[in-house]
Amino acid sequence: MNFPINSRVLLAWQQRCQPLSGAHYKAVSCRMWRMSLHYDLHSHSIASDGTLSPVELVTAAHDAGVDVLALTDHDTLDGLLDAARTARALGVQLVPGVEISVSWQSQTIHVLGLGVDPGNETLQAGLAGLREFRHWRAEEIGRRLARAGIGGCYTGARALAKGNIVGRTHFAQYLVAAGHARSVREVFKRFLVNNKPGFVPGQWTSLEAALEWIHTAGGLAVVAHPARYHMTSSKLRRLIAEFRAGGGAGLEVVSGSHSRDNITAMASLCRNENMLASCGSDYHGPQNPWIKLGQLPALPAGCQPVWESDRWPLQ
């Protein structure tokens, strides 16, 4: 087993597991080992709309005391190789992940694939299709903003993406830098959401396909930041029912973008629906000082963490 080298945790684990022996020792000690680790299962690098390189991201996670980090860039696996190399060198356990954009009942939702095989061709081909749409959409956002009197946005956003996928965050960062708004949040509100000049409806993949790609690649699927979709509770339950029918396993109960109330509500939903619970910061870089790597509240009592389940792909 490929344990991260973290002497503090290793010592605690060894001490706790001392009285056990044989197969029992192995099973219980693995479980206790996993329980004592510090998890952050949702983060972004410059391969999508984060600002740190994968090397910088994993280093920052290590410095923040994260033992197990999932890199989950939007619709790409490009950062995973560099991240895995750095993780190995620093003794961080990297969970190879992805955050897939899905269109479901006229809404965009995000599905995390955790523990996916980056070499899986089905997953790679599916994500390539989404990036093709992203490429067209970025040009279209640029055209629409130009029609609204703001030129140069596509070129500006593309420069910020540094050769990677151009996402809405890059447009937002460019518009702030060019003085059209004071914050990224304000740009989204004024320019990039439904009924605003730079809005282009998402034409992502289906929930069924996203789940199939993740499972074919050996991963476990989690609904990202479920409270962020502002769905009625009956719609959210319909989403979860469909998600579960397609083999989906968990809900991201603790997220950097969930309030305390959101966490309580999602924890109770998670327990009632018998789903596994995940936690991730959704870190995009140090420019958002209110979201830090690994500094997350604990999963509420009664939630079964994804990493304690038999379905966790990284045993």
Cβ-proximal residues to 210 (8 Å cutoff; 6+ apart), any chain: 100, 102, 111, 113, 126, 221
Residue 282 binds Mn ion (CB under 5 A): yes
Residue 144 binds Mn ion (CB under 5 A): no
Residue 169 binds ligand AMP (CB under 6 A): yes
Rg of the Cα trace of the chain?
A: 20
Q: Which stretch binds ligand AMP (CB under 6 A): 2-10, 164-172, 246-254, 296-304?
A: 164-172
Vertex 106 angle, CA 100 and 109, to 5°:
25
Residue 49 binds Mn ion (CB under 5 A): yes
Nearer to ligand AMP, 73 or 117 (CB): 73
Maximum Cα–Cα distance for the chain, whole Å? 72
What part of residues 229-248 is at the interface with ligand AMP (CB under 6 A)? none
> Looking at 111, 184, 217, 303, which residue binds ligand AMP (CB under 6 A)?
184
Cα-Cα-Cα-Cα torsion 236, 240, 246, 251, nearest 10 degrees, comes to 120
> Looking at 62, 168, 215, 258, which residue binds ligand AMP (CB under 6 A)?
168
Contact between residue 83 and residue 91 where contact means Cβ atoms under 8 Å apart? no
> Looking at 67, 76, 102, 110, which residue binds Mn ion (CB under 5 A)?
110
The phi-psi region of residue 225 (left if phi > 0; otherwise alpha if psi is between -120 and 50; otherwise beta) is: left
- Contacted entry of ligand AMP, Mn ion, none for residue 73, CB cut-off 5 to 8 Å set by kind: none
Nearer to ligand AMP, 201 or 302 (CB): 201
| Residues in binding contact with ligand AMP, number by CB under 6 A | 10
Question: How far is it, in rounded angstroms, from Cα 144 to Cα 204?
Answer: 20
The residue at minimum Cβ distance from ligand AMP is 167
Nearer to ligand AMP, 104 or 307 (CB): 104
What part of residues 33-52 is at the interface with ligand AMP (CB under 6 A)? 49
Residue 74 binds ligand AMP (CB under 6 A): yes
State the minimum distance, in angstroms, from the CB of residue 90 to ligand AMP.
25
Residue 215 binds ligand AMP (CB under 6 A): no
Buried b (16+ CB within 10 A) or exposed e, 158-175: bebbeebbbbbbbbbbbb
Q: Which two tokens stand for residue 25?
A: 């020792």
State the minimum distance, in angstroms, from the CB of residue 101 to Mn ion.
8
- Please state, as a whole number, how many other Cβ atoms lie within 10 Å of the Cβ of residue 280: 30
State the minimum distance, in angstroms, from the CB of residue 288 to ligand AMP.
8
Q: Which two tokens stand for residue 211?
A: 């789940």
State the minimum distance, in angstroms, from the CB of residue 163 to ligand AMP.
16
Residue 252 binds ligand AMP (CB under 6 A): no
State the minimum distance, in angstroms, from the CB of residue 169 to ligand AMP.
5
Residue 117 binds ligand AMP (CB under 6 A): no
Return residues touching ligand AMP (CB under 6 A). 49, 74, 101, 167-169, 184-185, 188, 284
